[in-house]
A and B are shown apart, each in its own frame.
Chain A
Amino acid sequence: MTLHTAPRIPDPDAFYEALMEAHRALPAEESRRLDARLVLLLANQIGDQAVLMAAIAAARAAADRP
């Protein structure tokens, strides 16, 4: 498996809305912890070490773009 970077989420807006909703009432610290739980759940769902490493690298690199 390789890291998918083409669109794959069937209803992006609904997913995004649910994500925002989960964070809406949370103070910063709890928000961060929620994200961490989410990342860990998704990482286990992927379950492929190489893809996880590629995703970490891609996330880091995206911040470097001008």
Chain B
Amino acid sequence: MPSTYVNPRYAAPPPPASGREEAAVVIAGGGLVGLTAALDLARRGVRSVLLYEDDTVSHGSRAICFAKRTLEIYGRLGLGAKFLAKGVTWNTGRVYHQDREAYAFDLLPEEGHAYPAFVNLQQYYAEEWLVEACAATGLVDLRWKHRITGVAPRADGATLTVETAQGRYALDAQWVLAADGARSTIREAMALPFLGQVFRDRFLIADVVMHAPFPAERRFWFDPPFHPGQSVLLHKQPDDVWRIDFQLGWDADPEAEKDPARVEARVRQMLGPDMPFSLEWVSVYTFRCRRIETFRHGRVFFLGDSAHQVSPFGARGGNGGVQDADNLCWKLAAVLEGRAPDALLDSYDAERIPAADENIMNSTRSTDFITPKNDAARAYRDAVMDLSASYAFARPLVNSGRLSRPALLRDSPLSSPDAGAWDGGLPAGAPAADAPVIDAAGRAGWLLERIGADGGFTLLADTAQVEAPGIATLRLAPDALQDHSGLAAARYGMRPGDAVLLRPDQHIAARFRAGTATQAAIAAAHRRALGLAA
């Protein structure tokens, strides 16, 4: 059916002749998250073997909404400009009830950020670019059509059984990143159950090609005239492709609903008789919000959909998974290089489980609003919609999806308490805020381009006096990097003499008021952020 995209085919390498092989880091599964992890590790000089059961990227468009934080991570990995150039930028969401607008929200109501709230892009493009970037590093051993069929974890690694067309082999890995998706073979082999819920509802996801004049906004309808009693979501993608999600209800027959004639009739109802369109891709989903209990199991780490799944209304699945990779890879690199103890890797659980829970909580709330569980829930949902027509107070209760926001890592064991009194700005644990800057040569750029770019820690400060070994100082001052708009100082809550310590994944580790940013204090925060006793 797809007419706008042809899946690339990659050559499958032969298995090792001896039937057995060793590798330091193995990434199991090369979807969005596995590929992101491979590239992040490669940017830090860490080699990996990536095993992938197929010989191409994602079939059909799954994720489309890439959130600002994800774009910033891809910016750090060198792919940000591609997302901006090809993707459809949007910041506004609009919610309709029946035939009127109920509520609109702007997800990025301020200037001074390199990336917008969201870019819509088909997942296969993202994966294709990641494959190319991984290959270009020369550090990722991409093994297409190498399917994992078993895993035997050990104290010092795990042995994976891998099947290829030319036979099977055993791969002894010191570290395994299990990014093999919702049906993770590794999770099943290790008998790790999912905790959470499956929603009794079905959704038809149709990608449609058309030259439509609709704006680049997220549009969501409750009970529209063209699909009564159910909800509909519309998103613009590149290549004149539009994503339409039709809520069908639990009783719908998933096979019958995929019949093209039936899908076309639904789309026709929505678009009216005059809009020419063709179907690009159709599937029917049931959604889940759940996770495994812990993401680290000795030398095996679960990330992305293998660790947690959410309904797509907040676009929190892929975006959450990319943040898993962002969180884990600098830590693994630091441990492999002997700069940090194994205990640093425990913070992956401490940081990413609360983040997954936040995504699950938000996605569950949205799904409960969209799919009321009983008569009372339906009455309240309808009451909110009734009231939202006339009363502003009811509009924030309308929940068509709370869109992906980065995790704040509030209680991270890697964060140090504030030094001095901070009354505003970003707290420790938060991802670094972007701001426009001008460098010493007069070139305009972005603050985030300079944080973690060398793979290490960064100290943001306005004086050269605060310096610490092993940490790159990024000096924000008129004679260095200029914060000409004052937005950096405002966003971080910094005053003259203050300093902020940032981790390699651009999260804040510690902040120091003027006078408290001593070398000893910075070194202690640095040690703590590396999982060393402070």
A residues neighboring B (CB under 8 Å): 29, 32-33, 35-37, 39-41, 44
A33 touching B382 in the complex, CB below 8 Å, given contacts A40-B394, A40-B397, A44-B393: yes
**A29 contact set on B, CB distance < 8 A:** 375, 379
Is B1 an interface position by the 8 A CB rule? no
Name the interface residues of B15-43: CB closer than 8 Å to any CB of A: none
Is B464 an interface position by the 8 A CB rule? no
**A39 contact set on B, CB distance < 8 A:** 380, 383
Is B384 an interface position by the 8 A CB rule? yes
Q: Which 7 A-B pairs have the closest CB atoms?
A: A36-B383, A32-B379, A44-B393, A37-B383, A36-B379, A36-B380, A33-B379
**B391 contact set on A, CB distance < 8 A:** 41
B445: shortest Cβ distance to chain A, in Å? 42
**A35 contact set on B, CB distance < 8 A:** 379
B residues neighboring A (CB under 8 Å): 375-376, 379-380, 382-384, 386-387, 391, 393-394, 397
Nearest residue, chain B, Cβ from A28? B375
Nearest residue, chain A, Cβ from B380? A36
Complex A-B: 21 CB contacts under 8 Å: A29-B375, A32-B376, A32-B379, A33-B379, A33-B382, A33-B383, A33-B386, A35-B379, A36-B379, A36-B382, A36-B383, A37-B383, A37-B387, A39-B380, A39-B383, A40-B380, A40-B383, A40-B394, A40-B397, A41-B391, A44-B393
For the complex, give the distance between the alpha carbons of A37 and B384 in Å.
Answer: 7
Which of B379, B382, B387 contacts A41 (CB under 8 A)?
A: B387
For the complex, give the distance between the alpha carbons of A37 and B380 in Å.
Answer: 7
**A44 contact set on B, CB distance < 8 A:** 393-394
A52: shortest Cβ distance to chain B, in Å? 13
For the complex, give the distance between the alpha carbons of A41 and B382 in Å.
Answer: 14
For the complex, give the distance between the alpha carbons of A53 and B470 in Å.
Answer: 49
Q: Which of B375, B379, B382, B391 has the most chain A CB atoms closer than 10 A to its own CB?
A: B379
- What is the number of contacts between chain A and chain B, taking CB atoms within 8 Å? 30
Given contacts A33-B382, A36-B379, 16 further A-B contacts (CB under 8 A): A29-B379, A32-B375, A32-B376, A32-B379, A36-B380, A36-B383, A37-B383, A37-B386, A37-B387, A39-B380, A39-B383, A40-B380, A40-B384, A40-B394, A41-B391, A44-B394
B383: shortest Cβ distance to chain A, in Å? 3
For the complex, give the distance between the alpha carbons of A41 and B384 in Å.
Answer: 10
For the complex, give the distance between the alpha carbons of A33 and B376 in Å.
Answer: 8
**A37 contact set on B, CB distance < 8 A:** 383, 386-387
For the complex, give the distance between the alpha carbons of A40 and B387 in Å.
Answer: 9
Q: Which of B382, B383, B391 has the most chain A CB atoms closer than 10 A to its own CB?
A: B383
**B384 contact set on A, CB distance < 8 A:** 40
A39: shortest Cβ distance to chain B, in Å? 8
For the complex, give the distance between the alpha carbons of A40 and B384 in Å.
Answer: 8
For the complex, give the distance between the alpha carbons of A38 and B391 in Å.
Answer: 13
For the complex, give the distance between the alpha carbons of A62 and B408 in Å.
Answer: 39
Nearest residue, chain A, Cβ from B394? A40
B448: shortest Cβ distance to chain A, in Å? 35
For the complex, give the distance between the alpha carbons of A14 and B383 in Å.
Answer: 25
**A40 contact set on B, CB distance < 8 A:** 380, 383-384, 387, 394, 397
For the complex, give the distance between the alpha carbons of A29 and B380 in Å.
Answer: 11
**B375 contact set on A, CB distance < 8 A:** 29, 32
A34: shortest Cβ distance to chain B, in Å? 8
B388: shortest Cβ distance to chain A, in Å? 10
For the complex, give the distance between the alpha carbons of A29 and B378 in Å.
Answer: 10
Q: Which of A29, A35, A37, A44 has the most chain B CB atoms closer than 10 A to its own CB?
A: A37
For the complex, give the distance between the alpha carbons of A39 and B382 in Å.
Answer: 13
Q: Which of A32, A39, A40, A41 has the most chain B CB atoms closer than 10 A to its own CB?
A: A40
For the complex, give the distance between the alpha carbons of A29 and B435 in Å.
Answer: 52
**A41 contact set on B, CB distance < 8 A:** 387, 391
Nearest residue, chain B, Cβ from A47? B393
For the complex, give the distance between the alpha carbons of A29 and B382 in Å.
Answer: 11
For the complex, give the distance between the alpha carbons of A35 and B378 in Å.
Answer: 12
**A32 contact set on B, CB distance < 8 A:** 375-376, 379
Nearest residue, chain B, Cβ from A34? B383
A9: shortest Cβ distance to chain B, in Å? 22
For the complex, give the distance between the alpha carbons of A36 and B387 in Å.
Answer: 10
For the complex, give the distance between the alpha carbons of A41 and B380 in Å.
Answer: 12
A42: shortest Cβ distance to chain B, in Å? 11
**A33 contact set on B, CB distance < 8 A:** 379, 382-383, 386
For the complex, give the distance between the alpha carbons of A62 and B376 in Å.
Answer: 19
For the complex, give the distance between the alpha carbons of A56 and B330 in Å.
Answer: 45
For the complex, give the distance between the alpha carbons of A40 and B394 in Å.
Answer: 8
A32: shortest Cβ distance to chain B, in Å? 4
For the complex, give the distance between the alpha carbons of A37 and B393 in Å.
Answer: 12
A40: shortest Cβ distance to chain B, in Å? 6
**B376 contact set on A, CB distance < 8 A:** 32, 36
